[in-house]
C-alpha cells in the first residue's frame, strides 16, 4: 500500500467515517503528508457518530481535512430511492470533490465489495476514482488488521455501518426526518443493549429493528417487548404511526433488487 500511495503521489480520499475509508485516510496521510487531502461529506444520511469519529482522528492526525455538502438531497433521482440510489449519491459526492481538487480521487472500496451489487462503482468510474484496496486485493478482514497495526483498535473493531439511507426499503422516498429517527432508534438500542449489530429498517410494512441472531436470542421476549414500546414512543413522537417489530439481521435486507426476469 505504501508503494501504491507513493506512486500515485497526490490523492484526495473520500472518507465516510467507516473502517475502510478511515483506515485508508490514515495510511495515505502518514505516507504522503500534505500531498493527501481527506474529504468528508455530511448530510442527513451520514450518522453523526461517523462524522464525529472522523473529525477527532483528523484533528489528532493533523490532516488536510475538508467537510463538504455533496448535495444529494437536492437530487430527486436520489430522493426517490431507486434500486441504483447509490449511483446518484456517489455521483454527487465525486462531482463535489472533483470540483475542489485536481488530485487523484481514491475510495475505501475493498476487494470483498466487488462481490456485491454496487451501482456507486459506475459513478466512481465516471470520475476516474481509484480503489487501492481493490487494486491490491485487500479485503475487510485485512483492513481491520491494518487499522489495528496503525494503533486504532476501536476503529479495527468498528461494525460495518452503511449510510442511513440504506435502511430505507427500495422505492420508499428518502426523507431527512425519517433518517434522523432511524439514527435515534439505533443509538438508543446500542446504549441500552449489549448488541453486536443493529439496523433500523423502514419497510412498506413498518419499522423493523434487526439485531444479530445472538443478541436477539439473548435479550428475551420480556425485554424485547419493553424495548419495542420505547421505540414505538419514539416513532409516535415524530408524528408518524408505524408498527414496530424485531427480526434477525440480514445484510442489505432493505434493498429490493428489481426483477429482471
pLDDT along the chain (261 residues), means of 10: 95 98 98 98 96 98 98 98 97 98 98 92 98 98 98 94 94 97 96 91 95 91 93 93 93 65 29
Quick one: CA dihedral 164, 68, 131, 121, positive or negative? positive
For the chain, the structural domain boundaries read: 2-156, 164-248
Whole-angstrom distance, CA of residue 219 vs CA of residue 258: 35
Our measurement of the distance from residue 158's CA atom to the centroid of its chain's CA atoms, rounded to an integer in Å, reads: 12
The residues facing 105 across adjacent strands are 12
Q: Are 155 and 23 in contact (CB under 8 A)?
A: yes
Task: Name the DSSP letter for residue 117.
Answer: -
Return the CATH number of the domain spanning residue range 2-156.
3.40.50.620
For residue 202, what is the enclosing H or E element?
A: strand 198-203
Q: Phi, psi (5° rounding) for residue 92? A: -65, -40
Three-state secondary structure call for residue 42: coil
Fold of 164-248: GMP Synthetase; Chain A, domain 3 (3.30.300)
Let me know if 235 is exposed, middle or buried by CB neighbors in 10 A (0-12, 13-18, 19+).
buried
Within 10 Å of residue 128's Cβ, how many Cβ atoms? 10
What pLDDT does residue 115 have? 87
Are both 2-156 and 164-248 of the same fold? no
Cα–Cα distance measured from residue 62 to residue 55, given in angstroms and rounded to the nearest whole number? 10
User: Whole-model pTM above 0.85?
Assistant: yes
Written as nine digits, the cell of 40 is 468528508
Give the pLDDT confidence score for residue 247 in this predicted structure: 94
Amino acid at each position: 500500500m505504501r508503494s501504491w500511495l507513493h506512486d500515485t503521489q497526490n490523492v484526495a480520499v473520500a472518507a465516510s467515517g467507516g473502517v475502510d475509508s478511515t483506515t485508508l485516510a490514515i495510511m495515505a496521510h502518514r505516507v504522503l503528508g500534505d500531498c493527501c487531502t481527506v474529504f468528508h461529506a455530511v448530510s442527513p444520511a451520514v450518522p453523526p457518530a461517523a462524522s464525529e469519529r472522523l473529525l477527532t482522528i483528523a484533528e489528532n492526525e493533523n490532516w488536510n481535512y475538508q467537510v463538504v455538502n455533496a448535495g444529494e438531497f437536492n437530487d430527486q433521482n436520489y430522493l426517490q430511492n431507486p434500486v441504483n440510489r447509490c449511483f446518484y449519491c456517489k455521483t454527487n459526492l465525486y462531482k463535489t470533490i472533483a470540483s475542489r481538487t485536481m488530485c487523484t480521487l481514491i475510495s475505501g472500496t475493498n476487494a470483498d465489495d466487488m462481490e456485491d451489487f454496487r451501482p456507486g462503482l459506475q459513478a466512481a468510474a465516471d470520475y476516474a476514482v481509484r480503489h487501492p484496496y481493490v487494486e491490491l486485493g485487500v479485503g475487510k478482514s485485512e483492513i481491520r488488521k491494518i487499522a489495528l497495526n496503525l494503533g486504532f483498535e476501536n476503529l479495527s473493531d468498528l461494525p460495518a455501518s452503511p449510510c442511513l439511507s440504506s435502511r430505507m426499503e427500495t422505492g420508499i422516498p428518502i426523507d431527512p426526518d425519517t433518517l434522523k429517527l432511524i439514527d435515534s432508534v439505533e443509538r438508543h438500542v446500542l446504549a441500552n443493549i449489549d448488541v453486536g449489530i443493529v439496523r433500523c429498517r423502514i419497510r412498506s410494512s413498518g419499522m423493523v429493528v434487526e439485531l444479530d441472531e445472538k443478541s436477539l436470542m439473548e435479550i428475551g421476549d420480556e425485554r424485547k417487548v419493553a424495548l419495542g414500546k420505547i421505540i414505538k414512543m419514539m416513532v409516535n413522537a415524530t408524528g408518524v404511526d408505524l408498527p414496530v417489530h424485531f427480526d434477525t439481521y440480514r445484510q442489505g435486507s432493505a434493498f429490493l433488487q428489481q426483477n429482471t426476469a
